[in-house]
Amino acid sequence: MNIKNNFLETIGNTPLIKLNYPSTITGCNIYGKAEFLNPGGSIKDRAAKAIVLDAVKKGLLKKGGTIVEGTAGNTGIGLGLVGNSLGVKTVIVMPETQSQEKKDALNLIGCELKLVPALPYSDPGNYIRQSEIIAKELEFKYQKGVLWANQFDNIANMLGHYKGIGPEIWDQTKGNINGFTCAVGTGGTLAGVSKYLKEKNNEVKIFLSDPYGSALYNYYKHNKLESEGNSITEGIGQGRITENLKNLKVDGAFRIKDEEALNIIFKMLKEEGLFLGGSSGINICGAIEMAKKLGPGNNIVTILCDSGQRYQSKIWNKSFLKSKNLPQPYWMDSKHE
């Protein structure tokens, strides 16, 4: 392998891993793109790099400048690391409900972290709305340029996936791919990957895998932005059509229960050695549903977004799961708590 010249070059080019249990039970080949192996630990390193490099190219951000963003955590970690590598400061606004592990990581890498109550987008106190307000305030204060990354509506996010992970998946499968599915937070991944794959081969099927509490399943199925229930997964679920989602066309949508997502990530760890977060569970369950729908012999790709380590105090904590009446890993007895 080549020597990388800097931190930015270490983002992307992740392995595509065959998921054996999901493949065996469906008679398909189900593959997971190992995004948890990015240096900041998630798929969002790619979006952070794409947004920052786009801003640098447009002259909106320079060394000594500041990035401000509202994030469930992973984008913040990516922006913090990318920012550090370019001599740029990072201010992160995050809902206080997110995992302690993500808060600790943001503090550790030197981001300025502002926690706000978890409020809907329609409320001006919402973390995304707050990040825009803070970015505007800092613009007056600092001389060297402030970038509001705006991952939800800045299509540099989607285009980063279109130019990066899309071609990687096409090359790794040698074009032998019948379907792609993943969940949506900003929509950058699903919209960017599907744009690339559909351009290469319009026959590739694209499905949304949505958690409960998100409005997108009803939107793509019944043309209504309505949500039901809720989910303990983080970083996914959406209540509006973001700019990144505007041109997305899906062939169908699945809605996945947290119970199913948890059971599959427990199995993936214990039987295949893959330690994953909750959104990866939603994605793998979606890929299994898609395999059942397309029938045996198809090749389906999904995303392994981040590592379980990021959720040790939540979905990988028996007491937390018990308190929510959710399934728990059978091998985790009280001596491990």
Residues recognised as catalytic: 44
305 binds ligand PMP (CB under 6 A): yes
Question: Interface residues for ligand PMP in 215-244 (CB under 6 A)?
Answer: 234-236
Nearer to ligand PMP, 12 or 188 (CB): 188
Nearer to ligand PMP, 74 or 227 (CB): 74
Least Cβ distance, residue 185 to ligand PMP (angstroms): 3
Site string for ligand PMP, 168-207 (x = CB under 6 A): ---------------xxxxxxx------------------
Which of 36, 49, 146 shows the shortest CA–CA distance to 91?
146
d(CA 77, CA 84): 11
Least Cβ distance, residue 198 to ligand PMP (angstroms): 17
Is residue 244 classed exposed, middle or buried when 0-12, 13-18 and 19+ CB atoms within 10 A define those classes? Answer: buried
Distances (CA, A) of 289 to 30, 33, 191, 255, 327: 11, 18, 20, 10, 20
Question: In sequence order, which residues have a C-beta less than 8 Å from that of residue 300 and are 6 or more positions away?
Answer: 28, 29, 30, 31, 177, 178, 179, 180, 181, 287, 290, 291, 294
Please select the residue that binds ligand PMP; options are 11, 72, 128, 169, rule is CB under 6 A: 72
Q: Could you tell me which stretch among 37-45, 58-66, 203-211, 293-301 binds ligand PMP (CB under 6 A)?
A: 37-45
Q: Could you tell me which stretch among 36-44, 60-68, 224-232, 255-263 binds ligand PMP (CB under 6 A)?
A: 36-44
Question: Interface residues for ligand PMP in 86-145 (CB under 6 A)?
Answer: none
Other Cβ atoms closer than 10 A to 210: 27
d(CA 104, CA 110): 10
12 binds ligand PMP (CB under 6 A): no
Contact 231, 258 (CB under 8 A): yes
Kindly list the residues in this chain that would bind ligand PMP in the complex (CB under 6 A): 42-44, 72, 74, 183-189, 234-236, 277, 279, 305-306
